Copies of this chain bind each other. A is one copy, B any other.
Amino acid sequence: MIEFWFEFASTYSYPAAMRVERVAGEAGLGVVWKPFLLGPLFHAQQGLTDSPFNAVPVKGKYMWRDLARVCADEGLALKTPAVFPQNGLKAARVTLALPEAARPAFVRAVYTANFAGGALISDEAVLAGVLADLGHAPDAVLAKAGGDAVKAELKKNTEEAAARGVFGAPTFFAPDGEMFWGNDRLEQAARWSRKTSTRPIDMKVDAS
């Protein structure tokens, strides 16, 4: 089992969401999908009030080019969003309002709407359309997404992410708690998870 922690505003979470089940599956692993909010962590850890890719334009320019290469390699469409970053709060709550088995398809559809479809995923009508396309009853799901239980669960996820040392998205956790940050660490996280599911890792670092 591999934990996949994602934030809907996060650019590299898009390719990660689209391929995490395939890569994990090739390693014989299931995926636990964990939405959280990165904004509060960015603010608490780095004092940021915007995406670091907006705060540091030279990094942002490179990120969009790198993301284009990553998506091209994966055969994923990419259209620079009109608004970046988008507010992923509602989409994250809707994810948690769905049964676990229904979450991966919804998450992929929302990322595709954001990064390939030019949609405003902060808009409840957009989320309702995604839900309807997937065969869900939008009104019922959105009502549950606005309830206290879902709000508390997302808050708890975000607090857990902070407590476990998360500072970006996507982040993966192996069963032994080992953390991997970034879409480009997914394969490594899967290898590590497979190994630690059978025997402990002997990897010492001399930090004397």
Contact yes or no, B79 A203, CB < 8 A: no
**Which single residue of chain B is at the shortest CB-CB distance from A205?**
B68
Chain B nearest CB: distance from A151 CB in Å? 25
**Which single residue of chain B is at the shortest CB-CB distance from A61?**
B165
Name A66's contact: one of B66, B77, B78, B181 (CB within 8 Å): B181
**Which single residue of chain B is at the shortest CB-CB distance from A188?**
B69
Kindly list chain B residues whose C-beta atoms are within 8 Å of the C-beta of A206.
Answer: 77-80
Contact yes or no, A207 B56, CB < 8 A: no
Copies of this chain in its oligomeric complex:
2
Kindly list chain B residues whose C-beta atoms are within 8 Å of the C-beta of A58.
Answer: 45, 165, 167
Tell me whether A98 is interfacial, beta carbon within 8 Å.
no
Considering only residues 149-208 of chain A, those with a C-beta below 8 Å from chain B are: 165, 167-168, 179-181, 184-185, 188, 203, 205-208
Tell me whether A43 is interfacial, beta carbon within 8 Å.
no
Tell me whether A72 is interfacial, beta carbon within 8 Å.
yes
Kindly list chain B residues whose C-beta atoms are within 8 Å of the C-beta of A79.
Answer: 206-208
Category for how many chain A residues contact B:
20 to 34
Contact yes or no, A62 B205, CB < 8 A: no
Contact yes or no, A179 B68, CB < 8 A: no
Name A78's contact: one of B62, B167, B168, B205 (CB within 8 Å): B205
**Which single residue of chain B is at the shortest CB-CB distance from A166?**
B58
Considering only residues 52-71 of chain A, those with a C-beta below 8 Å from chain B are: 56, 58-59, 61-62, 64-66, 68-69
**Which single residue of chain B is at the shortest CB-CB distance from A116?**
B206
**Which single residue of chain B is at the shortest CB-CB distance from A59?**
B167
Q: How far is B82's CA from A208's CA once the two chains are assembled, in angstroms?
A: 9
Of all A-B residue pairs in the complex, the 10 with the closest CB atoms, nearest first, are A68-B205, A80-B207, A58-B167, A79-B206, A72-B203, A45-B58, A59-B167, A46-B56, A184-B184, A58-B165
- 11 A-B residue pairs with Cβ-Cβ distance under 8 Å, sorted by A, are A45-B56, A58-B167, A59-B168, A62-B179, A64-B205, A65-B179, A66-B180, A69-B188, A69-B203, A79-B207, A80-B206
